[in-house]
Amino acid sequence: MLHCIGVSYKKADVAARGRFSLSSSAQTLLLEESQRLQIEALAVQSTCNRTELYAYGATSQELIDLLCAFSNGAKEQFHEVGYVYHGSKVINHLFCVGTGLDSQILGDFEIIAQLKKSFSRSKKYGLINPLFERLFTSVIQASKRIKNETKLSSGATSVSYVSVRYMLDRIPNIDQKNILLFGLGKIGRNTCENLVKHTQNDHITLINRTRNRAEKLAGKFKLIVKDYAELPVEIRKADVVVVATGAEQPTLSKSLIHTDKPLLILDLSIPKNVDDDVLDLPNVTRLHLDELSKMTDATLEERKKDIPKAISINEEVKADFYAWLDTRKFAPTVKALKEMMEALSQQELLQQQKKHPHLDPKEATLVSQFLIQKITNRIANHIRESDNREDSLKTIQEVFNLDPHV
């Protein structure tokens, strides 16, 4: 059976999500352990909004154990803020997550890229079975249709966009302010691109532990790059600091801030990368992504109108997935029947060659394969169209003495 366990913004605050977040290296270790446990299929998703494990061939308790083993979360905490889904509820949930309907910011389509990455990573470890392959492909298909056929993702929709929108709406003369962007992972890069796109600011400074990454992005947009060692100096100059470092521990604390002028700090990291002690400074305002995500604008309100259409598309694609899933129930019987007929055909062909030495084996084999395929197709169609598939399957298995599980 399919199982999904996880924590998300709906029940878990930033601190709780931080405890259960999984770094890239932790995800790798978790997948390796899943291999060792011989779990048939498993995918890991860890973003700023949620950490989830999807699996087939493992119990929900085994998944909770895995999550707690490779994160800083405890089982007691999980039972307070986590959730568990089984069977069709997993399918419904994954469709909602993958199409942005369950995102903290409605229509956030960055999630589908993250799901694709999760799928690819699991595939490398041999943890994707045919069921997962079809399920993830269906979710990706639904996401693409919703993006093309609705306005659910109209305009920019992401944490990085919302942070820039906040600056534009609440900071006068934002084009003239000094903005420091600290950390250039995916969210940091997207924030940088949104800043360049939506402002005329040429006072944007980039700092990253790996300077090469900062220089590459700065060259694209003609921005300023400073060394990591210069962080305190650049904070002193800044009016706004955007922290997107994605570290396990805080990367910015009160000890790095040496300025008396008003300073806005936007923390876009999970877990929090800005220490709570910065709030001891009267000139500092800190906002985390949860607070930013609650702020809506007219664009977001407009998107809500397309929720019914997006749900309808999800239901259409889900119906196709369930139809495929239904055919899988009788596929082993049809396969066993085909294999039995092929074996009989080979035996008969050998017998006929002894009686008729001039018989062309290639031509006889082609005719035999054609007939076998025609018969199996007809039987498959009969089962598919039957009002009682279980009875039809049972009859065919009894008549031909088939064991589809062998």
- Which residues are part of the catalytic machinery? 48
Q: Is 357 exposed, middle or buried (0-12, 13-18, 19+ CB in 10 A)?
A: exposed
Q: Is 193 exposed, middle or buried (0-12, 13-18, 19+ CB in 10 A)?
A: middle
Long-range (24+ apart) CB contacts under 8 A made by 231-234 are 231/182, 231/207, 231/256, 232/256, 232/257, 232/258, 234/180, 234/205, 234/207
Residue 52 in tokens: 């989830």
363 closest CA partner among 375, 349, 376, 377: 349
Distance CA 317, CA 322 (A): 9
Provide the pairing of β-strand 50-56 with 2-8.
antiparallel
336 closest CA partner among 406, 259, 245: 406
Neighbouring CB atoms inside 10 A of 38's CB total 8
Which amino acid is it at 358?
Answer: H
Element (H, E) at 7: strand 2-8
Distance of CA 280 to the CA centre of its chain: 37
111 closest CA partner among 94, 132, 88, 126: 94
Distance CA 247, CA 253 (A): 13
